[in-house]
Amino acid sequence: MVKPADRDAPARQVPVRVPLRPARLRPVWLVVGLLAVVGSLVVGVSVGPVTLPLTGVARELVSLLPWVDLDSGLSERQQALLLELRLPRVVLGLLVGGLLALAGACYQGVFRNPLADPHLLGVAAGAGLGVTAVITLRRSGGGAATGALPFATPLAAFVGAITAVAMTYALASRGGDRAPSTLILSGVAVSAFLAAGQTFLMQRDADAIREVYSWLLGRLGTAGWRDVLLVLPYAVVTAAVVLLHRRDLDVLSVGDAEASALGLDPQRTRYLLTAAASLGTAAAVSVSGLIGFVGIIVPHTVRLLAGVGYRTILPVSALVGGAFLVLADLVARTAAAPAEVPIGVVTAFLGAPFFVLVLRTSAVARS
């Protein structure tokens, strides 16, 4: 006969979860990411309404390096087209795509949700509301100071992005339900609310509608290096903070209790990484408009190919994200030439089926 104490003994045994050591970043994936960046850079500046010779472009780009002087064979007009129009646009695409992909991968690790994305969490909508407020204020003449402050637009976008992600997370956490579907539905609700505020601001100033609408569709059109120099400091800060904490995301993936036992403060880490990812998203949105799905397509592709460790996912996603957006911009520039398709349309055309696939895969995994 089994005694009651013996019958209860197995129930008192608590299994100990020992987190697996995350795989280190293999150099081969960094090489793949760097090759993708270099390849997209050369193709992006070579192809367009006026095609430039590929070898000449490559030699001209190499000659930009210190202590390197090569004769590219390009005419003065071709050099001006390359260095003053196409190269700034391509570099901006690398920065924006890298920031959006890095932010998407970071959000997925922070919230432990494979569907987390700057666009779907309402972060892009919040940043969009902030930028719209700056545009309408400047166009109405009541915000002359906003045009003189180079950081006014990114700052407004950052405030809107932080507010949006806080609203989404608070709404999804209400009642203790933090399932992926709940978080996404909360992001949709917050995005709709912020979009209503954006529409209200646009209707108050009819002159701003065309500028805001063009910005909403997403674009990388730039004349010179101004936008690149504007977003570069924010990109450096975001990348530094997120990449320095890439191991913490691997620790968070095993759960808050285990992370605390390993000496990590989960809540503080989430706040820090959310702020950094939102800063990068805000900076990208402020110069490129609303470009969706980059934060879902790229991290998931990297995760499938290179593994699930964030030591690999974060840096490789940043590199591949930049290359992806440059190639998407190339499609936008050439698909309907001489007209130009908004780049947000191209990424949505690719991202919507991918999002459905990820959603179905997540549903199957939960069942």
Does 18 reside within a domain? no
Long-range contacts of the stretch 331-337 (C-beta < 8 A, 24+)? 333/48, 333/49, 334/47, 334/48, 337/49
- Closest to 48 (Cα-Cα) out of 73, 80, 85: 85
State the average pLDDT for the chain. 81
Reply yes or no on whether the pLDDT at 239 is more than 90. Answer: yes
Q: Is the pLDDT score of 58 beyond 60?
A: yes
In a domain, 131, yes or no: yes
- DSSP 3-state assignment of 245? coil
Residue 289 lies in a domain: yes
Q: What is the mean pLDDT of residues 203-215?
A: 73
Is there a domain that residue 17 lies in?
no
Residue 9 covered by a domain: no
Q: Is residue 67 part of a domain?
A: no
Q: Is residue 65 part of a domain?
A: no
Residue 143 placed within a domain: yes
Look up the CATH number of the domain holding residue 94.
Answer: 1.10.3470.10
* Mean of pLDDT values over 241-260: 88
pLDDT band at 14 (very low <50, low <70, confident <90, very high): very low
**Half-sphere exposure at residue 20, Cβ-oriented, CA atoms within 13 angstroms:** 5
Whether the model pTM is above 0.85: no
> Where residue 243 falls among pLDDT bands split at 50, 70, 90?
very high
Q: Say how many domains are in the chain.
A: 1
Segment 198-207 mean pLDDT: 78
Q: How confident is the model at residue 16 (pLDDT cuts 50, 70, 90)?
A: very low
Distance between CA atoms of residues 70 and 277, nearest Å = 40
Q: Per-residue pLDDT averaged across 328-342, rounded?
A: 85
Domain that holds residue 231: 87-366
